[in-house]
Chain A
């Protein structure tokens, strides 16, 4: 049951990340402006990336089989 649940969370995470890092969402941040000194597009992509890593870290720590 637990195993199944964490599997589904992982699949949902992959889908969410794939949607966040594609059009049309990518289009909204594709502007030549700087945010905190970083180009908005890079800032956004690396931020999503980092969030993905953090969530993966937490999910992989939980319920070890």
Chain B
């Protein structure tokens, strides 16, 4: 294919990348949280580099399923993200940590030497990995333009494609990442571009997969059944015994660690995380991404082997060679762009992460640590942080470029991916120990990383460097000085491992042993102790972190402000300090007073975001008149604030409970008082009511007793009154008892079926005598006389009798009239008893259903009766789930209406079963 088409497409692709980054950068504010979660999840796909893209197929065509272990590792880790990754993110946010080196050095007391060791290890381990990406791009360019690899490295630098790649990557990273002095600020533009690249490489891989599987072969079944017929390909369908499993296990473990610890992964998953909840989406999206991108690897590998049997085509580039073989240039171009996307995304993020690491852990500590250098740059300290990062970017890319050119022949580039993984895996014990184990010390971490790095160098780097010379060969085969126990490929006689699992085993073994034993035998400094408390218990502390003590010492506020002003400018410094002081109510009005410790801690954290925690520590210490404080003191301060917080919370909860209880108590008391009052009223009314008949009985009995010679007629009359009053007395007593039964809830209903009309006729019959005496008319207007009612017959009759006798009391003889009505609406029966008596004044209509209502309202006409009748009616209807009311106008009669459900038994049943 014409190189120009390829070059133009490649640059068009890069232009799209720039455009996306630019757009996303501008629209940061509008982006929705869901979009951000998707970008976050997809940007994790930066894990899949060109080595994955082209190399997986090559590896699969040699070792079968082995290649998958690299993706199974991170997948198995995914469920734990919510536990581990979230903790790392929280710590990094709280402490403004922006790189892996910063994280580890912060945990172990913001130590510079630890930070620089981590940086150096990353550099040595990762630069070759970046070089590998350059190699992939230039080789794929060669294949797509010339049809094959020529292996003739051109001396003309301008004809070398990788120099253009390096240049455009440098431009991109410089433009979008090293813009602001604060590294804590997210690079939304770059992340959107990276997410886009993840999609491009996935789609490209899926296209070639479908093309090969369904376009050239007849589906998966076809490819695999052809694979079964050939010994070379059949071997790929299973794992070789023992060595295969061992390899699988170690590489799974290795890649799980690398996934967390590669600088680019740390950058996308921790530093670029804007919301911890995005992890939830990433937890299933990322494993799905890996699933899809690996789905067609084996079919493509086997398909390639079948297509190019013995023709010497490099299996690493089957992806490109397959479309070229079928003269499908468009598809080849798509694959090429997919490869570029895989390589560039890795280069961009890795460079960005490494440059910050390099600047913050090597360059800036050097400058701020030396008085002379600091004085030279003092006018423009904020510029230093920016420029050292920019310089680092260029430095890293140039190093990768030269590495690719100079060491290409010594170093087998294909194995570099896993070798890099092993180098960063050396941070795992210090990192995981750091966030879950408070006892880990700086000395332990440094020893662990150094020994792991040494073993990594000895077992993996040295063999690949010296393998070409004769002396090197003998060193490798017989061990140094002929000591076979020290052979780099079989250290201490450990045979039968692949170089990677062998190196992984020994480096991890010594790394972990050193980390634990050295940690247990060394002491932590004050700051270390402080940091270890915060790191391990971050979820307890993050809320109160801002007011915990990180260091104790005196500094004047103007000094502190002057230092911050070098980075933020005078205006902004004053503003942030003022805001912080206001938030925590710190008095900053007196400049001669030493600055509050919280302001000092805050200043240090602000600086950490710009120049890394170790450098920030140096800067702050330089103006701080620091006192020596004891470890116990730090721990106590931390514990105290923790306790105050939790006891405060406890106190608030308790007092809320208390005030609730108090309210309830007051309410109960009020109710009691009310009841007490009611009881008193009741008693006084009852006694009053009882006294009236007793007084008249006594009066008449005395008359009879004193006057033995009374006329027979008079005697009869008086005795009649005594009898009547006695009856009234006993009626009253039985009513009081009734009422008491209703109120205490002891009254039970005896339910029977009875027809409406029967109830009414029986009641009228009982009143017949009185009605006849008064000579009045009773009219019945019953809409459905045969309606069956389930009720307590006697009780309901009592209601009727009460209402009728009330009506009879108030109507005139001869002209009086009583109307009884009934109707049924929706299973509810309504009754009305209407009279044409005096009626009831409006102000009394509400209260006539209270007991002894008459007694309380002595002004009212005094009728006959106890005054308990209506109260009892109301109680009876309550028991029947009904209600009673009255409507009346003065002098035109009264109308009592009451209603109750026709099928009371069902209502009660439902109530009992709790519906």
Residues of A within 8 A of B (CB): 6-7, 10-11, 13-14, 17-18, 21-23, 26-27, 30-32, 34, 36-39, 41-42, 45-46, 49-50, 52-53, 56-57, 59-61, 64-65
B501 CB → nearest A CB, Å:
14
B575 interfacial contact with A, CB 8 Å: no
B874 interfacial contact with A, CB 8 Å: no
Q: Once the chains bind, are B220 and A7 in contact (CB under 8 Å)?
A: no
The contact of A10 among B65, B79, B225, B244, by CB within 8 Å, is B79
A18 CB → nearest B CB, Å:
5
Q: Once the chains bind, are B248 and A7 in contact (CB under 8 Å)?
A: no
CB neighbors of A among B244-261 (8 A): 244-245, 248-249, 252
A13–B80 Cα gap in the complex (Å)? 9
A43 CB → nearest B CB, Å:
10
Q: Once the chains bind, are B287 and A34 in contact (CB under 8 Å)?
A: no
Q: Once the chains bind, are A41 and B237 in contact (CB under 8 Å)?
A: yes
Known pairs A21-B76, A32-B228, A34-B228; A45 contacts B287 (CB<8 A):
no
A40 CB → nearest B CB, Å:
8
The contact of A30 among B228, B239, B249, B287, by CB within 8 Å, is B239
Q: Once the chains bind, are B76 and A14 in contact (CB under 8 Å)?
A: yes
Q: Once the chains bind, are A23 and B277 in contact (CB under 8 Å)?
A: no
Known pairs A41-B237, A42-B298; A34 contacts B79 (CB<8 A):
no
B861 CB → nearest A CB, Å:
68
A12 CB → nearest B CB, Å:
8
Q: Once the chains bind, are B295 and A38 in contact (CB under 8 Å)?
A: no
Q: Once the chains bind, are A49 and B220 in contact (CB under 8 Å)?
A: no
The contact of B287 among A23, A42, A49, A64, by CB within 8 Å, is A49
Chain A neighbourhood of B78, CB < 8 A: 14, 52, 56
A52–B239 Cα gap in the complex (Å)? 22
Residues of B within 8 A of A (CB): 65, 68, 72, 75-80, 82-83, 219-221, 224-225, 227-228, 234, 237-239, 241, 244-245, 248-249, 252, 277, 280-281, 283-284, 287-288, 291, 295, 298
Chain A neighbourhood of B249, CB < 8 A: 22-23
The contact of B220 among A30, A37, A41, by CB within 8 Å, is A37
Known pairs A26-B245, A37-B221, A41-B65; A14 contacts B77 (CB<8 A):
yes
State the 9 A-B residue pairs at the shortest beta-carbon distance, nearest first.
A37-B221, A39-B237, A14-B79, A60-B280, A57-B284, A56-B284, A10-B79, A13-B79, A23-B245
A35–B713 Cα gap in the complex (Å)? 121
Q: Once the chains bind, are B82 and A10 in contact (CB under 8 Å)?
A: yes
Q: Once the chains bind, are A41 and B284 in contact (CB under 8 Å)?
A: no
A59–B753 Cα gap in the complex (Å)? 59
Q: Once the chains bind, are B224 and A34 in contact (CB under 8 Å)?
A: yes
Chain B neighbourhood of A59, CB < 8 A: 79, 283
B848 CB → nearest A CB, Å:
56
A39–B298 Cα gap in the complex (Å)? 10
Chain B neighbourhood of A52, CB < 8 A: 75, 78-79, 287
A58–B277 Cα gap in the complex (Å)? 15
Q: Once the chains bind, are A56 and B295 in contact (CB under 8 Å)?
A: no
Q: Which of B68, B284, B288 has the most CB of A within 10 A?
A: B284
Q: Which of B82, B244, B288, B295 has the most CB of A within 10 A?
A: B82
Q: Once the chains bind, are A26 and B75 in contact (CB under 8 Å)?
A: no
Q: Decide if the interface of chain B is mainly helix, strand, loop or mixed.
A: helix
Q: Once the chains bind, are A31 and B238 in contact (CB under 8 Å)?
A: yes
The contact of A56 among B79, B234, B239, B298, by CB within 8 Å, is B79
6 residue pairs of the A-B complex, CB under 8 angstroms, read A14-B76, A22-B252, A26-B239, A26-B248, A30-B241, A41-B65
Chain B neighbourhood of A22, CB < 8 A: 245, 248-249, 252
A26–B75 Cα gap in the complex (Å)? 17
Known pairs A14-B76, A21-B76, A30-B238; A37 contacts B225 (CB<8 A):
yes
A28–B83 Cα gap in the complex (Å)? 32
B280 and chain A: residue at smallest CB distance: A60
A36–B298 Cα gap in the complex (Å)? 16
Chain A neighbourhood of B238, CB < 8 A: 30-32, 39, 41
A61 and chain B: residue at smallest CB distance: B280
Chain A neighbourhood of B72, CB < 8 A: 21, 45, 49
Known pairs A10-B79, A17-B76; A53 contacts B291 (CB<8 A):
yes
B244 and chain A: residue at smallest CB distance: A30
Q: Once the chains bind, are A17 and B65 in contact (CB under 8 Å)?
A: no
A53–B277 Cα gap in the complex (Å)? 18
A53–B291 Cα gap in the complex (Å)? 9
A34 and chain B: residue at smallest CB distance: B224
Chain B neighbourhood of A57, CB < 8 A: 284
B227 and chain A: residue at smallest CB distance: A39
B563 CB → nearest A CB, Å:
39
Known pairs A17-B79, A37-B221; A53 contacts B287 (CB<8 A):
yes
A17–B284 Cα gap in the complex (Å)? 14
A14–B79 Cα gap in the complex (Å)? 6
Q: Once the chains bind, are B76 and A34 in contact (CB under 8 Å)?
A: no
A56 CB → nearest B CB, Å:
4
Chain B neighbourhood of A45, CB < 8 A: 65, 68, 72
A49–B252 Cα gap in the complex (Å)? 14
B553 CB → nearest A CB, Å:
38
B610 CB → nearest A CB, Å:
31
The contact of A64 among B80, B241, B280, by CB within 8 Å, is B280
Q: Once the chains bind, are B284 and A53 in contact (CB under 8 Å)?
A: yes
Chain B neighbourhood of A23, CB < 8 A: 245, 249
A32–B221 Cα gap in the complex (Å)? 14
Chain B neighbourhood of A30, CB < 8 A: 238-239, 241, 244
Chain A neighbourhood of B220, CB < 8 A: 37-38
The contact of B245 among A17, A18, A27, A56, by CB within 8 Å, is A27
B276 and chain A: residue at smallest CB distance: A65
A37–B225 Cα gap in the complex (Å)? 7
Given A22-B249, A32-B237, A60-B281; 13 other pairs, CB 8 A cutoff:
A17-B76, A26-B245, A34-B225, A37-B221, A39-B227, A41-B238, A49-B72, A50-B291, A52-B75, A52-B79, A53-B291, A59-B283, A60-B283
Chain A neighbourhood of B283, CB < 8 A: 56, 59-60
Known pairs A30-B238, A60-B283; A7 contacts B82 (CB<8 A):
yes
B173 CB → nearest A CB, Å:
32
A30–B72 Cα gap in the complex (Å)? 17
Chain A neighbourhood of B75, CB < 8 A: 17, 49, 52
Q: Once the chains bind, are A56 and B287 in contact (CB under 8 Å)?
A: yes
Known pairs A17-B79, A34-B228; A42 contacts B65 (CB<8 A):
yes
A14–B78 Cα gap in the complex (Å)? 8
The contact of B295 among A17, A36, A46, by CB within 8 Å, is A46
The contact of A65 among B76, B80, B277, B288, by CB within 8 Å, is B277
A21–B287 Cα gap in the complex (Å)? 15
Chain A neighbourhood of B239, CB < 8 A: 26, 30, 41
Q: Once the chains bind, are A38 and B291 in contact (CB under 8 Å)?
A: no
B65 and chain A: residue at smallest CB distance: A41
A42–B716 Cα gap in the complex (Å)? 117
Chain A neighbourhood of B219, CB < 8 A: 37
